[in-house]
Structure 1
Amino acid sequence: MKKNVLKICSLAVLGLFFSCSEENYEKDSVLESENLNQELLTTKQINDGIKSTLEQTGQFYWEDASLQMLWSATQHGSNIVTIGYGSSQNDFEKASSKAIGIEEEILKIIRDNETSSSEKTLIYKDPVLNIIDVIIKDQSTLALLRQNNHVRYIEPGDYKFFQFEQENGTNKSSSSGSSGCGYESESLSSSDYTTITPNAKVPWNFYKHNIPTAWNTSTGAGITIGVIDSGVSPNQSLLGSNFNNGSSSGRSVQKYGTYVDSAWPWSTSTDGPNDKCGHGTSMTATATAPRNNKGLPVGVAYNANLISYRAASNVVLEGYHEQKGVQNAFVGLGNNSSVKIISMSMGHIFSVGRIEDGVRYANNRGKLIFCAGGTSTSFTNFVGVIFPAWMSETVAVTGIKEGSGYNKCSNCHSGSTIDFTVVMERSSSGNSAPVLSYYENQTDYVGGSSVATATTAGIAALVWAKNPSWTKTQVLNKLKQSASLYPNKNSDYGYGNINAALAVQ
């Protein structure tokens, strides 16, 4: 009996030895196959690499970066790493996932390999999507995870490209820092609007798309538009307590916040739904401002419902909490059965995996998603269509100048993934579109691909309200068929300008 016990124990020890040997061999072979270079790249070197790829291909994904570049970017981004996992690239939703046990498998790899294992590894595990945020310091850990078949993507979670551009002496552009933000008010030129009952101002560019004529057929009633942006001004009652004003009635406005204003990645308290930038107020006003009796600009779908998400502090989604806030906004709107349309006039010059997952989550639930093609100054004029507008799950929109032909508006981006255009800039004065200001009873001019996107989302609401039983595909096809370049698609301007009056027929 004793001899048998000894034999069993010996076999068990031998089996454990072989198991450990195989695991170590696999780990060693992975690390040998990777080019481990412990020299830390500077933020300038990383940014130059990103820009070089964008100039060559038009898109940048972290999966195409070298291990050294990925590791260096995480080092410069507080060691925060975002990991998307699953049994396949399309396995990103927890509810339908086949990725049982994969999350713990990944965390075990990190804990077993990190030399500073005493520190807290896990920052956040998403309750809906197959995403975790972790702290990783060792390049070898990234190498092991990169070659794991269950890792869909692994990215720096807090690499701030534009902040580093500024620190490195590159001129700050409107695509960085406080980009898109402003609380300005400006009186409107009488040539830039027409007054209609009950005393609302119709922006000049609405007539370029026959939107006022379309109102004879549809005003967006019964359709809910979700806007992901910087929130809504608490000082603009036409997007709050007076949302039902003048000829707008029987509709609702809801405001949420998913943005955490903190440098601490473990923070979870959002700073509320109110706009602290000004950009979100302009976008929600463009899409849904009431046909009011106060002598102020009307929105495209003035009888549509509005759900606003403050998901970021400004239009550039380069911080950890901004990217996470946008992802959560897409999930929230995706889960809201009343939402038909999502409009987002924010983005980044490179892909963000967690936002991709959020977009796909909402898309899988029948939402028609419009994203801005991009607006910037000379610093980023080499960038074509920005992320996530380049995704196939989104509809990309940009702005053009008034006049014959197609010429993009100043600082607007164009490219092969653009689907539609909106006239945004006057040929003579250079004025953009009149909108409600951040402040009560005041107006402003705002343009670019941002307002073009919100305008197109409003037109889509007019079409969907006319055909409430339609799917998003049917609505999108109608928009295409009503555009000036259809059935052809221009390599820079897509199907061109939509004729809203034709679209609602």
Structure 2
Amino acid sequence: MKKNLLKICTFAFLGIMVSCSEDNYEKENAVDAENFNQELLSTKQINDEIKETLQQTGKFYWKDASLQMLWSATQHGSNLVTIGYGESLNDFEKASGKASGIEDEILKIIKENESDSPEKVVIYKDPVLNIIDVIIKDQKTLFLLRKNKGIRYIEPGDYKYFTFEQENGANKSSGSSGCGYDSESLSGSDYTTITPNAKVPWNFYKHNIPNAWAKSTGAGITVGVIDSGVSPNQSLLGSNFNNGDSSGRTVQKYGTYVDSFWPWSTSTDGPNDQCGHGTSMTATATAPRNNKGLPVGVAYNANLISYRAASNVVLEGYHEQKGVQNAFVGLGNNSSVKIISMSMGHIFSVGRIEDGVRYANNRGKLIFCAGGTSTSFTNFVGVIFPAWMNETVAVTGIKEGSGYNKCSNCHSGSKIEFTVVMERSASGNTAPVLSYYENQTDYVGGSSVATATTAGIAALVWSKNPTWNKDQVLNKLRQSSSLYPNKSSDYGYGNINAALAVQ
């Protein structure tokens, strides 16, 4: 009896202590939150902190920023906050059902600490991923949300780093980075004409791609390209996709980008390229082996699914980042898609894109991303996001010649897996591609074209081995590269020999 009484008293004491601890924790949080009255940091102060972190660590995540910096960035970004939630760091899909109720907890905290009504606070609830976009104005709200164990990340939803760089005195805008509608006649030394009258780019021979075509042309494989869309004025990526020696394949075009200043806007502006970059990338990977005297793509018998997910290659702001996330989810849900190529990115991590990449990766997609191409004020960055993710394969471009020398504007680093020769040593000319306009040609360079080229080679390998999974295809690419089994600290496994890869 005494032992039972002692147990009861002990449990009662522990219960009181736990209750008191919880009460004290809540009171401490409330007191701390009430005491927040930090000044708003300027966009220059925020950007300088991002740059300093990148220079020191090579990566920047908002989870590592101070509350003051996070709150200030949200205030400079329309008060928009993106919250990724879940039972654990890997719980990012709604279908798991594990995060049920966490969203309600988040909204309760916001409702209790923000003055706006709930209908004005919630901008978007993702139907597939555990993501919610809300308007937050009070530091206290952010503080309390950061303490919630059900939240994986809290990020400014519309902070435009490059726009603020320009406003703060940077000498070049990145707003049109990678865009252009120019056409250029090709030098006769930059291509070889093959049947039925297609031009093979000079750099394809550096990777033995024409010899690989004897065994594989990409038939039966669908490549998804996430970029700025496809030109409506280039029929070889539309109605004439099956021109010449290309046959029996399909092209589909989608748009997930909303061209609007307002975060609550939902109408996309369609699949058509309004930049030029996406047209070049889809052409590099899949342009037909045509009879029109124009450049052929690497996997000229592969299917193509194109997503216009952003206005240009720099994933700046809410609608571009959300557009890319939705493109990854769309391609992830498409069972016919084997390979995803994205030659766009950002200098820091974006949680919703990370979730989209992981969603597609979990569904067996082999994802290639550009390692980065410099602008005048991003040359301090190594491999960019999301190419630095473990779920993606990072690619960069190098110059023609012996050894490995990165192209004039290309990034390099330990996350790079493969390289593609895409810049001539003598003339400086880059890779020939289809132009934005009918019956015209152009040159394109950087890690962008390197990425699309590698995605095309992967399609050749998967077409030759249709029962393989993504890991088997990736391992074959590695084994067929010039530096294998070693890996360079800057250039990965180096140049892929496509003919060897399809053996």
Common topology (TM > 0.5)? yes
Letter in structure 2 aligned against 1:139: Q
Structure 1 residues 49-128: aligned runs within 5 Å: 49-117=49-117, 120-128=120-128
Task: For 2:482 and 2:46, locate their aligned partners in 1 and report how far apart those are by CA, in whole Å.
Answer: 42
Partner of 1:5: none
Tell whether the 8 Å contact from 1:313 to 1:322 is kept in structure 2 after alignment: yes
In the aligned structure 2, how far is the partner of 1:71 from the partner of 1:177? 25
Counterpart in the other structure of 1:15:
none
- Computed over aligned residues only, the root mean square deviation of the Cα atoms, in angstroms, reads 1.7
8 A Cα contact 2:221 2:338, kept in partner = yes
Corresponding position of 2:438: 440
Partner of 1:469: 467
If the length of structure 1 is used for normalisation, what is the TM-score?
0.94
Matched with 2:192 is 194
**Partner of residue 159, structure 2:** 159
State the SS of the aligned residue for 2:293. coil
Partner of 1:413: 411
Q: Counterpart in 2 of 1:10?
A: none
State the Cα distance separating 1:24 from its structure 2 match: 8.7
Letter in 1 for 2:47: N
Tell whether the 8 Å contact from 2:85 to 2:151 is kept in structure 1 after alignment.
yes
| Deviations 1:36-80, CA, capped at 9 Å, x for gaps | 352000000000000000000000000010100000000000000
Cα deviation 1:264-302 (Å, max 9, x = unaligned): 111111000000000000000000000000000000000
Asked if 1:137 corresponds to 2:137, the answer is: yes
Do 2:33 and 2:143's aligned partners in 1 also have CA atoms closer than 8 Å? no
The amino acid that maps onto 1:207 is Y
Q: State the match for 2:338 in structure 1.
A: 340
Tell me the equivalent position of 2:3: none
Which residue does 2:239 correspond to in 1? 241
Q: Which amino acid aligns with 2:113?
A: N
TM-aligned CA deviation for residue 379 of structure 1: 1.6
Deviations 1:291-346 (A, max 9, x none): 00000000000000000000000001111000000000000000000000000000
Q: Which moved more, 1:89-98 or 1:388-397?
A: 89-98
Which stretch of the first structure deviates more once superposed, 398-407 or 119-128? Answer: 119-128
Other structure's SS at 1:81 match: strand
Structure 2: stretches of 5+ with no match in the other structure: 1-18
CA contact (8 A) 1:237 1:440 kept: yes
Shift of 1:473: 0.2
Question: Which residue identity does 1:129 align to in structure 2?
Answer: L
Contact (CA 8 Å) 1:155, 1:353: kept in 2 or not? yes
SS of the residue corresponding to residue 264 of structure 1 reads: coil
Contact 1:86 1:97 in 2 (8 A): no
> Take 2:284 and 2:146, find their aligned partners in 1: how far apart are those partners?
43
Structure 1 pair 324/27, CA: closer, same or farther in 2 (3 Å)? Answer: farther
Q: 1:488 aligns with which of 464, 486, 499?
A: 486
Q: 2:361 — aligned with what?
A: 363
Separation (CA, whole Å) in 2 of partners of 1:307 and 1:168:
39
Amino acid at match of 1:302: Y
Q: What is the CA distance between 1:23 and its match in structure 2? A: 6.4
Change (3 A) 1:128 1:118: closer
Query: SS at 1:132's partner residue?
Result: strand
Q: 1:142 to 1:418 in 2, by over 3 A?
A: same
Deviation at 1:377, TM superposition (A): 2.7
Quick one: structure 1 residues 84 and 321, their matched pair in 2 at CA, closer, same or farther if it must change by over 3 Å?
same
1:30, 1:143 within 8 Å by CA — same for their partners in 2? no
Shift of 1:32: 2.2
CA contact (8 A) 2:180 2:277 kept: yes
Q: What one-letter code is carried by the residue in structure 1 that aligns with 2:46?
A: I
Mapped contact 2:71–2:139 kept (Cα < 8 A)? yes
- C-alpha separation between the residues in 2 aligned to 1:368 and 1:257? 21
Q: 1:243/1:36 Cα in 2 relative to 1: closer, same or farther (>3 Å)?
A: same
Q: Which runs of 5+ in 1 are unaligned?
A: 1-18
Normalised TM-score (structure 2):
0.94
Indicate whether 1:423 and 2:421 are aligned.
yes
Alignment of 1:20-419 (within 5 A): 26=26, 28-29=28-29, 32=32, 36-117=36-117, 120-172=120-172, 176-419=174-417
Q: 2:487 & 2:35 partners in 1: Cα distance?
A: 43
Distance in structure 2 (CA, Å) of the matches to 1:31 and 1:179: 46
* Partner Cα separation in structure 1 for residue 239 and residue 119 of structure 2: 48
Q: Describe the SS at the equivalent of 1:95.
A: helix
Find the residue that maps to 1:195 and give its secondary structure.
Answer: strand
1:432-475, CA deviations, whole angstroms, 9 ceiling, x for partnerless residues? Answer: 00000000000000010000000000000000000000000000
Three-state SS of the structure 1 residue aligned to 2:252 is strand
Taking structure 1 as reference, are residues 463 and 224 closer, same or farther at Cα in structure 2, changes over 3 Å only?
same
Runs of 4+ in 1 over 6 A off after TM superposition: 19-24
What SS does the aligned partner of 1:378 have? coil
Give the C-alpha shift of residue 27 in structure 1.
Answer: 5.3
Q: Residues 20 and 281 from structure 1, CA distance in 2 versus in 1: closer, same or farther, beyond 3 angstroms?
A: farther
> What amino acid is the match of 2:337?
V
SS in 2 for 1:359: helix
The count of residues paired between Structure 1 and Structure 2 equals 486
Shift of 1:356: 0.2
Secondary structure, aligned partner of 1:273: coil
- Aligned 8 A contact 2:172 2:376 in 1: no
SS at match of 2:485: coil
